[in-house]
Amino acid sequence: MVIRSCNLETVCGPTSTLPKNDLPEVAFAGKSNVGKSSLINAVMNRKSLARVSAQPGKTQTINFYNINDEIYVVDLPGYGFAKASEKERERWGKMIETYLNTSDMIRAVFLLVDIRHAPSANDKQMFEWMDYVGYDPIVIATKADKIKRSQLDKQIKILREGLGATKDTIIVPFSSQTKQGLDTIQDFLAQVIEN
């Protein structure tokens, strides 16, 4: 996928109206700090268009990045951010849910989980909910540079079982540092654009 242009076109907070876009959208969800914004930068081949932070809870809005006037990549706020108040967590959860429930343009949904750990209850809940709403979530196992190659199969198995995913669910190991898995993700976006 050749990136000719990309820009942050729309930012939605809890009280914003979601945009009625006329291009396909692909959404990236996952717990806070899992690497959503870093992945989106890698996809756009930009260092810091999407804000990245070692502090969880960086992205607190729904951010729509327009790539090539062909597709929107949507950066969702992270869930499960421990330091956020109950009220904030609820608000973000609602935003994510409302977006995934109401946009007509979502063509693919990616769920990011950390390759090093078994999925959390929130991850499992999100996966089940995405599945229930009718998406076929593609799982991205992030921070793959943090494990040894020899651990890869075992970790993928742990993720698959922990999420309750079937053999058919695609799980892509990814690292925004080494760019492992980037080609695969870009291929998904290219497919969305073509269809």
**Contact residues: ligand GTP, CB under 6 A:** 30, 32-38, 52-54, 56-59, 77-78, 142-143, 145-146, 175-177
Min separation Cβ 22 and Mg ion, Å: 26
Min separation Cβ 66 and ligand GTP, Å: 19
**Using CA atoms in the order 153, 187, 127, 146, what is the torsion angle rounded to 10 degrees?**
40
**H-run or E-run covering 66:** strand 62-67
Site string for Mg ion, 26-55 (x = CB under 5 A): ----------xx------------------
Distance, CA of 173 to CA of 161 (rounded, Å): 16
Min separation Cβ 31 and Mg ion, Å: 11
**Using CA atoms in the order 185, 187, 189, 195, what is the torsion angle rounded to 10 degrees?**
-150
138-142 vs 106-114, strand pairing mode:
parallel
Query: Do 65 and 19 meet the contact criterion of CB atoms below 8 Å apart?
Result: no
35 binds, among Mg ion, ligand GTP, none (CB under 5 to 8 A by kind): ligand GTP
Q: Is 103 in the site for Mg ion (CB under 5 A)?
A: no
Site string for Mg ion, 52-91 (x = CB under 5 A): ------xx--------------------------------
Distance, CA of 121 to CA of 119 (rounded, Å): 7
The site for Mg ion (CB under 5 A) is made up of 36-37, 58-59
